[in-house]
């Protein structure tokens, strides 16, 4: 069993330890929910103050040009591209993940005449399935949502596009992105990956896997802030042929010509729709920049070590308390969070939050602990498990106040 002395030694030897100082993390709190909402990068606070005072305050409308606001979606997209194995001009920051997925699926359907099925798996994040359903209602295309073990067998000549979330939001299980993309292509289908739980958390190489489309969140491991805009990736080889169904004015090849007929931008720019949220965009840029300063392989290594420690300590300190691991045991199959099942999971998480350990709960019985190596210490994991043991020993989760459901958890 790993001892506290060994855990302190791990923190002392951690080459990434310096990044923690770049985040605002309330004293005494153990924050294990960066897979849902990343904490505030201190530089983002300073950037927002500067942007509001100088660029918005003094520069006013001139700042679209003078402060580079107009280029921010593509500029930050190019930065995110470096985290997901994409090239310059293949990623754009815009809208929400849900909207971007809609754009990708609509483009894929249009590019595959004669194929009418959008395929996904049960257990995918609900918004992905909802966007498919909405698009099916508009286009007459069909949604097929199959059990995960039926996915590959369901790839037939009717499938226009397969859409999956790379890292499962409940279990953190990682799909084999390259192998599934290959299988979809062999069947003549396009693929659209949701990288919301992958970007900034696990290695992704879209180009070498030949991925067609991808989307992902800015507010999770990218630490872009609440409601940060999302990103969309469209492989360069598809850009000229992939129509943007949300043909807004900023996706026009010359938006400021105010032409009354839509003519798409020749590249990724066609997936812009309306005016980007500059304050949120520039806060996101700080989160992305910080992540890019870290060695990505070292980050993944530390994340695996932190996750292993959490699994080990829950296994040893909480033995016989009713917890079971809902995430894969193997590091290479597990993404950026660790999920644990317990019959009283909801109330346990509420009690844990009251003790200053923030994770989240996904029904019916999953406690999720986000493992963000940029700011977490091995000692935080130890502290979280120590407080969890206290909650369990005192049976704090039995208290009525921890059993009341809130609307956002």
Binding interface with ligand PLP (CB under 6 A): 96-98, 125, 127-128, 165, 169, 194, 196-197, 217, 230
DSSP annotation of 58: I
Provide the minimum distance between the beta carbon of 194 and ligand PLP in the complex, in angstroms, as a whole number: 5
Bridge partners for 31 per DSSP: 358
Q: Is 221 annotated as catalytic?
A: no
- Active-site residue identified among 102, 125, 169, 213: 125
Q: Is 353 annotated as catalytic?
A: no
Residue 246 has a CB neighbour count (10 Å cut-off) of 17
- Comparing CB distances to ligand PLP, the nearer of 116 and 409 is 409
- Comparing CB distances to ligand PLP, the nearer of 23 and 102 is 102
- Segment holding 76, helix H or strand E: helix 72-81
- Active-site residue identified among 233, 368, 378, 380: 368
Q: Is 213 annotated as catalytic?
A: no
Residue whose C-alpha is closest to residue 242's, from 110, 78, 115, 97: 110
- Comparing CB distances to ligand PLP, the nearer of 103 and 197 is 197
Residue whose C-alpha is closest to residue 276's, from 294, 258, 249: 249
Provide the minimum distance between the beta carbon of 97 and ligand PLP in the complex, in angstroms, as a whole number: 3
Q: Is 377 annotated as catalytic?
A: no
Task: Name the token pair of 312.
Answer: 């080990």
Task: Name the token pair of 222.
Answer: 């990218």
C-alpha 16, offset from chain centre: 21
C-alpha 343, offset from chain centre: 27
Provide the minimum distance between the beta carbon of 353 and ligand PLP in the complex, in angstroms, as a whole number: 18
How far apart CA 89 and CA 82 sit, in angstroms, is 11
Provide the minimum distance between the beta carbon of 158 and ligand PLP in the complex, in angstroms, as a whole number: 25
> Quick check: bond before 364 cis, omega within 30?
yes
- Comparing CB distances to ligand PLP, the nearer of 194 and 380 is 194
Q: Is 169 annotated as catalytic?
A: no
- Comparing CB distances to ligand PLP, the nearer of 196 and 350 is 196
Task: Name the token pair of 385.
Answer: 């498990």
Catalytic positions are: 125, 194, 219-220, 368
């Amino acid at each position: 069993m790993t001892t506290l002395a060994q855990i302190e030694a791990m923190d002392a030897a951690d080459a990434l330890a310096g990044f923690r100082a770049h985040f605002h993390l309330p004293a005494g709190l153990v924050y294990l929910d960066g897979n849902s909402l990343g904490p505030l990068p201190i530089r983002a606070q300073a950037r927002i103050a500067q942007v509001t005072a100088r660029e918005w305050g003094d520069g006013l409308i001139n700042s679209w040009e003078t402060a580079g606001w107009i280029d921010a979606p593509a500029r930050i997209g190019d930065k995110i591209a470096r985290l997901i194995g994409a090239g310059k001009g293949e990623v754009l920051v815009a809208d929400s993940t849900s909207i971007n997925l809609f754009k990708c699926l609509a483009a894929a359907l249009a590019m595959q005449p004669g194929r009418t099925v959008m395929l996904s798996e049960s257990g995918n994040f609900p918004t992905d399935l909802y966007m498919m359903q909405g698009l099916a209602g508009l286009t007459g295309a069909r949604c097929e949502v199959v059990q995960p073990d039926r996915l590959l067998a369901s790839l037939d000549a009717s499938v226009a596009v397969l859409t999956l979330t790379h890292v499962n939001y409940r279990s953190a299980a990682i799909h084999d992105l390259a192998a599934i993309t290959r299988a979809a292509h062999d069947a003549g289908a396009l693929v659209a990956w949701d990288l919301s739980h992958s970007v900034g958390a696990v290695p992704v190489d879209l180009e070498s896997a030949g991925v067609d489309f991808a989307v992902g969140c800015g507010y999770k491991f990218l630490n872009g802030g609440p409601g940060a805009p999302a990103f969309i990736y469209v492989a360069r080889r598809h850009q000229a042929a992939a129509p943007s169904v949300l043909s807004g004015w900023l996706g026009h090849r010359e938006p400021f010509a105010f032409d009354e007929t839509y003519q798409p931008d020749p590249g990724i720019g066609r997936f812009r729709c309306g005016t980007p949220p500059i304050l949120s965009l520039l806060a996101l840029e700080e989160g992305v920049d910080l992540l890019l300063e870290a060695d990505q392989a070292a980050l993944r290594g530390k994340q695996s070590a932190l996750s292993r420690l959490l699994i080990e300590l829950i296994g040893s300190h909480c033995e016989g308390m009713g917890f079971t691991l809902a995430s894969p045991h193997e590091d290479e199959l597990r993404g950026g969070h660790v999920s644990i099942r317990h019959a009283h999971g909801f109330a346990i998480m509420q009690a844990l939050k009251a003790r200053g350990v923030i994770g989240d709960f996904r029904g019916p019985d999953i406690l999720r602990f986000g493992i963000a190596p940029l700011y977490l210490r091995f000692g935080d994991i130890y502290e979280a498990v120590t407080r969890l043991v206290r909650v369990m020993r005192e049976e704090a989760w039995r208290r009525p106040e921890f059993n009341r459901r809130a609307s956002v958890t």
